[in-house]
Structure 1
């Protein structure tokens, strides 16, 4: 696995995958409203200090699924893309089980393309929208074999060209597998950075645009690695654990009305 700097085959006849969500669909963030901005980044909120504290705080917690899989050796761009598709609208614990089951059967585009869609569906059956995902993943594998010589390139345009793959998955693949400075904005990164007051944006896509302007590049890949476990165990959607939060003295607690 490359360590990030700190800092079409014929498409199946099935309908577009319902797995595509707002956080996973391409969006044009140009011309964002003035409210989509960094709120005094660096002055009102010390993001370097916050992420350093969170690095220590999340050590006892399970890693985010894609980072865990990469550590286990499933670190190619294709494996990371397959795992990210499995992860959409699916808990990390379930993603890990389903992805490992898939990779026990097939780990390369050629091997996945050679599977029957039914077998692929059975492998990832624990994940949400598994049938649609199986068709989507099979089509991607065939495309990689037929158009890219059997190896998924570390190319944003190629990744975003696949049906159902949006900025979140593309950036996670490029960051984790390809060593490129990319920000994977999922619901945790979106929620927490807005709660801090570091970002003021209505959607994950707009949060991504702000973070690309304001977040130091040394944190681009790691912000997802850190905020996923932090968001699951400390800065939770409801009743966040503000009383024991390592960044409580920095956080504006935007939108928080009740906490633990």
Structure 2
């Protein structure tokens, strides 16, 4: 993996390019419960389909009590646009029940308690912590997982392994920017099939640069 000095250099360059990102974020959603439901609906779903499912659901039921009051088949119909709707309906009912019975209906603001809720994994918990509760957490999705392993920030076979390795490696002063930087880097330059290594401002510190050395042609 990259040395501590190389990690510092990497994040310093990210901050220099996107200085406005590394700040304490405003809360995206004032209602943590609606944020949690939205994150659960977003699994394996496009943003526009998640939004449609979310809006249909919240138009009819926007609290744990209201969602529990919906028959499971009705709940599944409301969230159908986001896919996997039968499974997600079951998970939502279980999560709402646990939230009411164990937490008085309030969404917890720590990873351990969040991941104890049915249907809430580490990635979902970290997204909620970062974007709803404004904590310096890096949520590891497909893009972040790929970028971290290519750069040498982590050597994880799974997103969960990458997340566990990454957390202690991100300097605290870069905590609020790291997620967005890594995510956007994966979308813009460090793409899955066609990484733009020649144009990358991290090329000299990347541990696993898949591009051939300059001046040579790949076979």
Give the TM-score of the pair, scaled to structure 1. Answer: 0.67
Which range is displaced more, 105-114 or 161-170?
105-114
State the alpha-carbon separation in 2 of the partners of residues 196 and 100 from structure 1.
38
Structure 1 contact 175–181 (Cα < 8 Å) conserved:
yes
The answer to whether structure 1 residue 76 and structure 2 residue 39 are counterparts is: no
Structure 2 contact 2–207 (Cα < 8 Å) conserved:
no
The corresponding residue for 2:196 is 241
- In the TM superposition, what is the alpha-carbon distance from 1:108 to its structure 2 partner? 2.4
Greater share of residues in helix: 2
CA radius of gyration, larger in: 2
Which range is displaced more, 116-125 or 246-255?
246-255
For residue 168 of structure 1, the aligned residue among 123, 134, 137 is 123
- In the TM superposition, what is the alpha-carbon distance from 1:129 to its structure 2 partner? 1.7
1:210-235 Cα shifts (integer Å, max 9, x gaps): 21221012333433333334323432
- In the TM superposition, what is the alpha-carbon distance from 1:44 to its structure 2 partner? 6.5
Structure 1 contact 189–223 (Cα < 8 Å) conserved:
no
Unaligned runs of 5+ in 1: 1-37, 59-66
Residue 103 to residue 143, structure 1, CA distance change in 2 (3 Å): same
- In the TM superposition, what is the alpha-carbon distance from 1:192 to its structure 2 partner? 0.4
The corresponding residue for 1:48 is 11
Structure 1 contact 86–98 (Cα < 8 Å) conserved:
yes
Which structure is higher in RCO with an 8 Å CA cutoff and minimum separation 6? 1
Unaligned runs of 5+ in 2: none
State the alpha-carbon separation in 1 of the partners of residues 181 and 95 from structure 2.
29
State the alpha-carbon separation in 1 of the partners of residues 98 and 15 from structure 2.
41
The corresponding residue for 1:212 is 167
Structure 1 contact 175–183 (Cα < 8 Å) conserved:
yes
State the alpha-carbon separation in 2 of the partners of residues 102 and 245 from structure 1.
42
- In the TM superposition, what is the alpha-carbon distance from 1:191 to its structure 2 partner? 0.6
Measured on the aligned residues, the alpha-carbon RMSD in Å equals 3.2
1:141-194 Cα shifts (integer Å, max 9, x gaps): 122223322222223333111223211111221222223332211121111011
For residue 87 of structure 1, the aligned residue among 33, 39, 42 is 42
Give the TM-score of the pair, scaled to structure 2. Answer: 0.78
The answer to whether structure 1 residue 120 and structure 2 residue 83 are counterparts is: no
Residue 77 to residue 237, structure 1, CA distance change in 2 (3 Å): same
The corresponding residue for 1:8 is none
Q: How many residue pairs end up in the alignment?
A: 211
Which range is displaced more, 230-239 or 134-143?
230-239
The corresponding residue for 2:153 is 198
Residue 39 to residue 230, structure 1, CA distance change in 2 (3 Å): closer
Residue 114 to residue 202, structure 1, CA distance change in 2 (3 Å): same
State the alpha-carbon separation in 1 of the partners of residues 161 and 5 from structure 2.
19
